[in-house]
Amino acid sequence: MQRPRARAIGRVGMIGLSLASVLTPAAGALAQARARLHRIDSLVEAYRAETHAPGVSIAVVRGTDTAALKGYGLANVELDVPATPRTVYQIASISKQFTGAAILQLVDAGKVALDDEITKYFPDYVVNGRRVTIYHLLAHTHGMQEYNRPETRADWVKPLGHQKFLDLMKDQPFDFPVGSRFLYRNTGYYFAAMIVEQMGGGRDASGGGGGPAGGKLYADYLHERIFLPNGMTDSRDCVDRPIVKNRAQGYSYESGRLLNRVSIDMSWPFGVGSLCSTVIDLVKWNAALHGGKVVSATSYQRMITPATLTDGSRTEYGLGLRVASEAGRRIIEHSGGTIGYTSHLVYFPDEQLSVAVLTNLESGGPRRLAHAIAKAVLEGSP
């Protein structure tokens, strides 16, 4: 009479062991995720303590799994508004990859070619016999002077305008023969964004049109062809006057105190660094761009292939993106820094890992923080 009961107890015990074998790995994974998030929290707070950044937002996505999505500190110090993953920041030079992608979409459409000389679009611009192509603009190998040089700083609060930009560049000497060196300069991307306006489509439905040839405004092109198709609902041109929900206030830290940023007219950064976004939108962008949803496979390869100089050496920059290898891992990334804000967006293609970090402080760029976060995810570093 006792044997059946013993068998029953045995069966229950075996079921319990079976459940334990299933639940233990899940519990272990949960504990590991919590430890990883705690590590990321510690890294961000250490960064904030070191730099005095009022607010930081991060997004960390590996494949389709979100490892972290969080805001720290304050988006607006005066009003005590917390930073969140939906906080909108100026992303500065991360904008360059959007300009590069817009040009490559036009290449895919047969409207422009990377080996087009810029005099095709700006016939009055004097290059003194030099062959400057769209490719040179995007690869920072054009050799032209910086347009927003220090002596122009007093004018940054006033609208720039394309003609004034061309006037600033008129008669400026070249720093080196075209294609012979890499020198990171904003000038090429202002030219490139003007080409997007010329060739990006006809006048819009309202009868407007802002390009020199009556084309589509740069901001409108990005909204229609890049942001909307990829669900980037919080990304936009970063002009100051419109009300932008969740926009962060920018700051500087000087002589031991936090100060509000000095405003500049956003026509100056234009296609160089005029965009606002969130960490959520930036990881969506990484998924779309590196997932083949933005440009053709051929154009994508051009975008992530470092430029070759005339002496045969390679740079670490493609077309709007830094492409390199560090600690044995391939990385595709870009940083940004402007008055009041800094940013970093990195993608590890082999690991399918995206890390976006946005801050509302103009110093202490967060590249090191982004890479430390990536290391914590990939290696579980202590």
pLDDT the model gives residue 215: 63
Burial class (CB in 10 A: 0-12, 13-18, 19+), 56: buried
Burial class (CB in 10 A: 0-12, 13-18, 19+), 323: buried
Reported as a single tens digit per residue, the pLDDT across 325-371 is 988 999 999 999 999 999 999 999 999 999 999 999 999 999 999 99
Domains and CATH numbers, the chain: 38-379 (3.40.710.10)
Reported as a single tens digit per residue, the pLDDT across 253-274 is 999 999 999 889 999 999 999 9
The stretches in the chain having pLDDT less than 50 are 1-23, 202-214, 382
Reported as a single tens digit per residue, the pLDDT across 202-237 is 433 232 333 444 468 999 999 999 999 999 999 999
**Token code pair at residue 199:** 């060739």
User: What distance in Å separates the CA atoms of residue 236 and residue 244, rounded to the nearest whole number?
Assistant: 9
pLDDT the model gives residue 4: 43
Tokens 């679009």, residue? 121
Burial 286-307 (b: 16+ CB within 10 A, else e): bbbbbeeebbeeebbebbbebb
Sign of the torsion angle spanned by Cα atoms 94, 97, 100, 101 = negative
